[in-house]
Amino acid sequence: MSSFDIPETMQAWVLGNADELTLVEKPVPRPGSAEVLVRIDAVAICATDLEIISEGTPALIEGGLPFNKNFTPGHEYMGTIIELGPTVDEYAVGNRIAVEIHAGCGRCERCRMGMYTSCLNYGANYGEYDKGHRANGYTTDGAFTQYAVNHINTLVRVPDSISDEVATLIVTAGTAMYGLDVLGGLVAGQSLVVTGAGPIGLLGVAVGKALGANPVILTDIVDERLAIGQKLGADHTINAAQEPVIEAVHRIIGDRGANFVLECSGATNAVNEAIKIVSRGGRVCLSAFAHEPVSVDTKHIVANNIYLYGIRGEGRSAVRRAAALMAQDRFDASLIHTHTFPLSELPTGLRYAREKIDGAIKVVIKNQE
């Protein structure tokens, strides 16, 4: 069995006021029952990290916004197990793993259904009000640091064939997989439209194609991202800045519309566009946060028996199935990894991700020890 020296303290980025991060020393946490200590080897920057750092939401720390609470953000990470908690024999020291964001309370109705991202005790994990819920980088400390404790239910093994950088994308692929699950699961040959070529959208194309969707159509306003989508399996791409999306989709697959729409853009018009793309009785999954409330044509939804769903994260063990597809080389997730920075340069990495410098899509922070 491998062994690792475990220091008493670690470097961690802590959120002060909005958009204010400071590198500090924190105690290294130690695992309890059914937990392991993970050395964080790489963490990807998500658009939600940027929102939390600037706006606070959707993070929920001690019942409120995360500012000035010694909180460390970051949630899409992988690493190496360096210590086992009591009773843990499902994993071994030295195992490479990716980490799901959410560990539900395990006691509420939603958790018992496998919907732990919708835990009814969400955020109830502090002081005398600790019911066991955890969400890395949302309701508890995240991964812009060197070490973290995680429950074994959140771990997914990473084969040596997958690099650290690409392994951070397993959770992103799992979110796309969860969206397709919520839509009812793809049957080979059914049509899928993915709107928005961000990381979730691009991997939504990849997962959908790997599961047999046909055709897969991707929309965005950036040609370079649409080109990556084609490499990941999109049969058709539509530049929404150059042609009307609804008409273009109907031209490709007919006026009846698509079986499924996976909405990943968060654009103001996205929902109304999606319900006009999908067929009567079709299904739309929303996987992106809109920046402001939007008006929706509910008359069209009701009249056409359209099902509209929203997802949060990567429930129902979707991450494990996405990891299996990546381990089988069913698609090349490395296509969306564009930049890497060391932990000490996190603010630079965040700037690249926020401003999309040099075409940044997925920026990864590596721990350099």
- For residue 258, what pLDDT is reported? 96
Helix axes 170-182, 199-210, angle to 10 degrees: 60
Task: Please tell me the total count of domains within the chain.
Answer: 2
- For residue 174, what pLDDT is reported? 94
Residues 189 and 302 occupy one common structural domain: yes
Residues 250 and 287 occupy one common structural domain: yes
Residues 227-244 have pLDDT tens digits of: 999 999 999 999 999 999
Q: What is the span of the domain harbouring residue 290? A: 172-310
- Please report which helix (H) or strand (E) contains residue 241, including its range: none
Stretch among 51-55, 56-60, 129-133 having the lowest mean pLDDT = 129-133
Residue 330: inside a domain, yes or no? no
- Percent of the chain clearing pLDDT 90 (strictly above): 87
CB-CB contact of 103 with 119 (8 Å) = no
- CATH number of the domain that 343 lies in? 3.90.180.10
Structure-block tokens of residue 272: 């109304």
Average pLDDT on 324-332 reads 95
Last residue of a domain, one of 310, 325, 350: 310
Looking at residue 114, its amino acid is G
Query: Distance (Å, rounded) from C-alpha 38 to C-alpha 79?
Result: 6
Residue 193: inside a domain, yes or no? yes
Is pLDDT above 80 for 316? Answer: no
Residues 201 and 285 occupy one common structural domain: yes
In a 3-state reduction of DSSP, which class is residue 34?
Answer: coil
Nearest partner of 49 among 305, 365, 367, judged by Cα? 365
Query: Distance (Å, rounded) from C-alpha 265 to C-alpha 351?
Result: 20
CB-CB contact of 352 with 339 (8 Å) = yes
Nearest partner of 25 among 12, 8, 36, 16, judged by Cα? 12
Residue 278: inside a domain, yes or no? yes
Residues 145 and 196 occupy one common structural domain: no
Residues 145 and 210 occupy one common structural domain: no
Residues contacting 170, CB < 8 A, separation 6+: 78, 98, 156, 158, 162, 319, 322, 323, 326
Residue 114 neighbours by CB distance under 10 Å: 14
Instruction: Report the predicted TM-score, pTM, of the whole model to 2 decimal places.
Output: 0.93
CB-CB contact of 11 with 145 (8 Å) = yes
Residue 178, CB-side half-sphere exposure with 13 Å CA sphere: 28
Residues 255 and 348 occupy one common structural domain: no
Last residue of a domain, one of 310, 325, 358: 310
Query: Distance (Å, rounded) from C-alpha 205 to C-alpha 5?
Result: 42
pLDDT grade, residue 315 (50/70/90)?
Answer: confident
Nearest partner of 118 among 132, 99, 100, 105, judged by Cα? 105
Residue 165: inside a domain, yes or no? no
